[in-house]
Structure formats: structure tokens, C-alpha cells
Structure 1
Amino acid sequence: MGHPNPIEPLMHPLLAHLLKVVAVGVAALAAVVAIPAAALSLAFGLIVGPSKDEVTRLSAPDGKVDAVLIETNGGATTSFGYEVYLVPTGTERSGEPAAVLYGAMRNENAYGVTLVWESPTSLSVRFLTTRSKALTNPRVAIDGQSVRITLKAGENDPAAPPGGMLYNLRDGH
């Protein structure tokens, strides 16, 4: 039994070969585009580093010192980081943070920490849980005043909105 079209037996192998060549070409093009795009994304992240945004500034009861909370964000594959600085009221943050936390949560859906001045010379950094924490400077001298910083785990803040702190500031929650 013959084929109705005498070219058909020849066309199938050629068509199959052509489709393989096209498929290999498309895969190669995808790799050529994807590899530099991934490398560029990684390089940008390494060069620029994580974002660092001020999300809270809270003055001490006597108005002489500000506690400044910075939220760091390294991208989708990382959690949020939090850095606490003490500075003279109204000034920009500088130097090294007094406390650093990574993956801190205020409740089961809200990232972040809560700053509470217990007195003009005592700041409490409160959170429910955290992946890691470091009190790098438990006492900070600001304009001749010594401020003590403590970290307090197990503090649930049910009023904290879900997500990161910067996200909630931008969306007005």
C-alpha cells in the first residue's frame, strides 16, 4: 500500500530534523539570554546590597535621643533584617547599630520589632520570635547620656499588620 503523496515519506524526516534544529536553537537562545540575566541580577544584588529603610523613629521621653529602626531587605530569597540605632534627636543614623535582628516577627504574620522607651535611658526592643539576634552595643553614650538597650523575645503584637514594616508604611496601614 503506497502513500497518496509520493513526497510525504521524504517530508517527515526533513520536517522532524527541522523541528529538532529549531528546538535546539530556541533552547540555546533561552540559555544565552537567561544566563546573563541571572548573572546581572546577582551582580546587581551584590553591588547594591540589601535595601536599608528607616521604618520607625521614636524619641526618648526626655526628647534627647531618637531610637531609629532600619529594615533591611535582601530580596525574595531572604527574610527582613532589623537594625537599631541611637542618635541625638533629629539627626541621621550613623556608626554601627546597637542591635541587629534577622527574621524578627511581631506576630505570626507581621515582620519587625517594636521599640519601647521604658525611661529616658532605657530602650526595649521587643519581638515575638527571631531567627537570630545580636546586642552589639548594650550601652550607647549619646551627648553624655548613657542609654541601655535590651532585647525582649516572646512579645506578641496582635495589632501589627501582616508583612514587612516598610510595606505597611508605604500602603498606609
Structure 2
Amino acid sequence: MSLTLGQTLPDFTAEATSDQQVSLSALKGKKVVLYFYPKDSTPGCTNQGGDFRDLYKDFQAANTLVFGISRDGLRSHENFKAKQSFPFELISDKDEALCKLFDVLKLKKMFGKEHLGIERSTFLIDEEGKLAQEWRKVKVPGHVQEVLEAAQALA
């Protein structure tokens, strides 16, 4: 399934850190940032999460919730979140349902071998649950600031 800008996203419920169940329908009235990243505690993912952490108050001021998503399990997520002092929840997508919904699983090459991995991607959802903006093949430097500005512009 491919998502288009302005499309109302299908509801989903996913397990997150802090024993939370995150449902898109329960978040209506707030903007939501979903950022998909390859793996907990790797350098790029740590930097990206740190940028979201450092600008988190600005996201809150823009009525925007932030969730990080990867295929790591909840225990790994809890450790990563605690170690990096992330003020937002991390969603575990072990069954890849969200990865497939947002079409972020791509064939990647590492050490000459191909594997299916998460392409670093970010999605901004408006207060009505519609896809407002998407960023694919994200490069970490400056990205979170760009997402914040897009969320603020939606006000």
C-alpha cells in the first residue's frame, strides 16, 4: 500500500515503551511525528533520537507528539530510551506491520550482502490523522529541525 499526502491514515495500535499502547485514533487533535530508524543504539539512530530529544520542548509547544519506530524489541527500546534520556516513546514494530504500512522496508547492502532493512524515514500526521508530510532516505544532520518547522507551519 502506498500512502499519499492528504490521505487519512488507517488506524493502528502498537506496543511502545513505558508499557504504552499507541493508537493513531487516540492521538487525534495532536500532530504526530513517526520517525522510522534502522536500529537502537547505533550512531546515526542515536544522533537522530538525540536531535528529537533536544528539540522535544519545541515539538510539544507545536502540539506535536514524537514516536520513534524500529523493529527492535521493547527491552532494547527501553534501554536505548533510558540511556539517551528520550522524553518520547519508542514503538516496537517486530511484526513489521507499521514498516509495511509506511513502506519503509528496503533492500540494503551491507558488507556485500543484501538484506531487508528500514530506510530512515519520517512522517508528519496532522490533527485529523492525515499524512501532512513525509521524508524518505533521511540524512540525519538538520533533519529534525526541518520536521519541527513543518509541524510549526501546520499550526
More helix by share: 2
Q: Which has the higher contact order (CA 8 A, sep 6+)?
A: 2
TM-score bin (small chain): under 0.3
User: TM-score under structure 2 normalisation?
Assistant: 0.22
User: TM-score under structure 1 normalisation?
Assistant: 0.20
More strand by share: 1
For the pair shown, which has the larger CA radius of gyration, 1 or 2? Answer: 1
